[in-house]
Amino acid sequence: MAADKCVHGVPPSLSAKVVGSFAYLTIRDRLPTILTKVVDTIHRNKNKFFEEYGEEGIQAEKQTIGLLSKLRNELQTDKPVLALTDSLQDAESWNQYLQRHQGPQGDQDSVSWFQSPWLYVECYMYRRIQEALWLNPPISDYDVFNEAKTQSYFESQQAVMALCTYLGGVNKSKEELSKNQLLDTFNKLLKVSLWGNKCDLSISAGQKNSQKTSPLDSLSSLQPFILVDDSNLVWLTLISAQSQGLSGKITAGRVDIVLDNAGFELVSDLVLADFLISSGLVREVHFHGKCFPWFVSDVTANDFQWTIRQTMAANHMWMSKSGVRWQSYVKEGVWSYHDHPFWTQPHEFSDMAADAPDLYATLQGADLVLFKGDLNYRKLTGDRDWDHTAGFDTALRGFTPAPLCSLRTLKANVQVGLQPGQGEKLTSQEPDWMTSGKYAVIQFHSPKSEQ
């Protein structure tokens, strides 16, 4: 499935076939651990299924666990990847993708857990978890990662309070903010949203991961760990999206945020989005989330609504005020939540124009698209073995629906757009710099720079 050499200048996909690589360790160690936790969670909820669905719930629990144990065995013994058997909307496109990547004779053996692109098989595992649930109707909609996501939100309460209090202060004085103060606040909240990405649950195989202290206090000490900081280009893009009508009234642009994780990261994204709206920098924010539970902590529609409701109901003035405002943005359509099956498919984003033209067209309507997190970065760059000095534009391979920016802490070994020697220096000092979550990038690209 994966080529081992560059084909037409495009490097090979990362894969577990490189023994000892991060992809290899993920497939060998972390994914089976995640599957074991999923099985445990379903088993622990046996009584709940019985209360809700009676004997049928118990049968569904048993059968789902059976399917998941089989999946773990297939993974651990490097079995061929199987076509999906449920009849959900996206099953056909998954199966077509699988066929496209099989050998010329449709030879199943050519697509397997340890031999094929890491991006594909890791995404496939989450889709198979969903298949196991969907094949067992009474518990089809059960979110196996819900407990971990809500726990991560509650454990970050101190940080959430600090952030909402800061936002309250900014909103109170927003009329008096000079352009420099606006820029300063924007920079702070953009970086809080960036570092919020440290708090995902899949890197730690579902272990606790939350933000305990105020993220605002740590920003300056974290600055040296931002390897590429294009925040000024993001700001300029927002400013240039504003236009003045004949009446002198300023109309601002639309920002799309392709969300990553629930818990503290989502709050940090909502706070940024709130500031963009309340400051008048932006007219509308479109959030893009996942259609089903994904990579342990990713945001679904349910997580999005739950987080707003929970923040509204908090026993803390600034938190509840923030939650109430967020709810009203949603009601008024200033904020909107969207999902699309493409986000839970294994494709590189360079395939989007061909494979999900409707989504590509949607993103073209934005003045700026923020891509949160590591998995989105892997998909932006195709999860390939790029040289660190390759340009971000080169790695995007034509994916330029609108000016875009990746806000990502590094948790997988792909990184482009560095200065000559920068990657080598980091490797000699800290061999795990690309996977520890300690470093980050704010990496921007605009289609205009191609003209």
Q: Which residues bind ligand F6P (CB under 6 A)?
A: 26, 122, 197, 200, 202-203, 260-261, 295, 373-375, 378, 411-412
Which lies closer to ligand F6P via its Cβ, residue 122 or residue 367? 122
Say which residues have a Cβ less than 8 Å from residue 328's Cβ, sequence separation at least 6. Answer: none
**Per rule CB under 5 A, is residue 303 in the interface with Mg ion?**
no
Closest C-alpha to 129, from 9, 369, 273, 293: 293
- Which listed option, ligand F6P, Mg ion, none, makes contact with residue 197 (CB within 5 to 8 Å by class)? ligand F6P
Binder of Mg ion out of 90, 131, 200, 265 (CB under 5 A): 200
Per CB under 5 A, the segment of 164-172, 229-237, 277-285, 294-302 that binds Mg ion is 294-302
**Per rule CB under 5 A, is residue 261 in the interface with Mg ion?**
yes
Which own/partner contact pairs does 44-52 have at CB distance under 8 Å and 24+ positions apart? 45/142, 49/138, 49/139, 49/142, 52/138
**Per rule CB under 5 A, is residue 155 in the interface with Mg ion?**
no
Query: Minimal distance in Å, beta carbon 289 to ligand F6P?
Result: 13
Per CB under 5 A, the segment of 34-42, 188-196, 290-298, 345-353 that binds Mg ion is 290-298
Q: How many helices (H) and strands (E) does the chain have?
A: 19, 9
Which lies closer to ligand F6P via its Cβ, residue 1 or residue 182? 1
Query: Minimal distance in Å, beta carbon 263 to ligand F6P?
Result: 10
**Per rule CB under 5 A, is residue 295 in the interface with Mg ion?**
yes
Tokens 């920079």, located at residue: 187
- Which listed option, ligand F6P, Mg ion, none, makes contact with residue 274 (CB within 5 to 8 Å by class)? none
Query: Minimal distance in Å, beta carbon 148 to ligand F6P?
Result: 13
Query: Minimal distance in Å, beta carbon 445 to ligand F6P?
Result: 19
Query: Minimal distance in Å, beta carbon 119 to ligand F6P?
Result: 8
Binder of Mg ion out of 90, 155, 260, 348 (CB under 5 A): 260
Query: Minimal distance in Å, beta carbon 75 to ligand F6P?
Result: 14
**Per rule CB under 5 A, is residue 292 in the interface with Mg ion?**
no
Binder of Mg ion out of 90, 229, 274, 298 (CB under 5 A): 298
Query: Minimal distance in Å, beta carbon 203 to ligand F6P?
Result: 4
Query: Minimal distance in Å, beta carbon 291 to ligand F6P?
Result: 16
Tokens 């349910």, located at residue: 302
Query: Minimal distance in Å, beta carbon 260 to Mg ion?
Result: 4
Cβ atoms of residues 199 and 150 within 8 Å: no
- Which listed option, Mg ion, ligand F6P, none, makes contact with residue 234 (CB within 5 to 8 Å by class)? none
- Which listed option, ligand F6P, Mg ion, none, makes contact with residue 152 (CB within 5 to 8 Å by class)? none
Query: Minimal distance in Å, beta carbon 450 to ligand F6P?
Result: 27
- Which listed option, ligand F6P, Mg ion, none, makes contact with residue 411 (CB within 5 to 8 Å by class)? ligand F6P
**Per rule CB under 5 A, is residue 197 in the interface with Mg ion?**
no
Length reported for the chain: 451
What would the 3-class secondary structure string for the chain be?
A: CCCCCCECCECCECECCCCCCHHHHHHHHHHHHHHHHHHHHHHHCHHHHHHHHCHHHHHHHHHHHHHHHHHHHHHHCCCECCCCCCCCCCHHHHHHHHHHCCCCCCCHHHCECCCCEHHHHHHHHHHHHHHHHHCCHHHCCCCCCHHHHHHHHHHCHHHHHHHHHHHHHHHHCHHHCCHHHHHHHHHHHHHHHHHHHHHCCCCCCCCCCCCCCCHHHHHHHHHHHEEEECHHHHHHHHHHCCEECCCCCEECEEEEEECCECCHHHHHHHHHHHHHHHCCCEEEEEEEEECCCCCCCECEHHHHHHHHHHHHCCCCHHHHHHHHHHHHHHHHCCEEEEECHHHHCCCCHHHHHHHCHHHHHHHHCCCEEEEECHHHHHHHCCCECCCCCCCHHHHHCCCCCCCEEEEEECCCCCCCCCCCCHHHHHHHHCCCCCCCCCCEEEEEECHHHHC
- Which listed option, ligand F6P, Mg ion, none, makes contact with residue 131 (CB within 5 to 8 Å by class)? none
Which lies closer to ligand F6P via its Cβ, residue 7 or residue 19? 19
Which lies closer to ligand F6P via its Cβ, residue 323 or residue 437? 437
**Per rule CB under 5 A, is residue 120 in the interface with Mg ion?**
no
Which lies closer to ligand F6P via its Cβ, residue 201 or residue 356? 201
What phi and psi, each to the nearest 5 degrees, are found at residue 369? -120, 125
Which lies closer to ligand F6P via its Cβ, residue 205 or residue 236? 205
Query: Minimal distance in Å, beta carbon 347 to Mg ion?
Result: 17
Say which residues have a Cβ less than 8 Å from residue 232's Cβ, sequence separation at least 6. Answer: none
Binding site for Mg ion (CB under 5 A): 200, 260-261, 295, 298
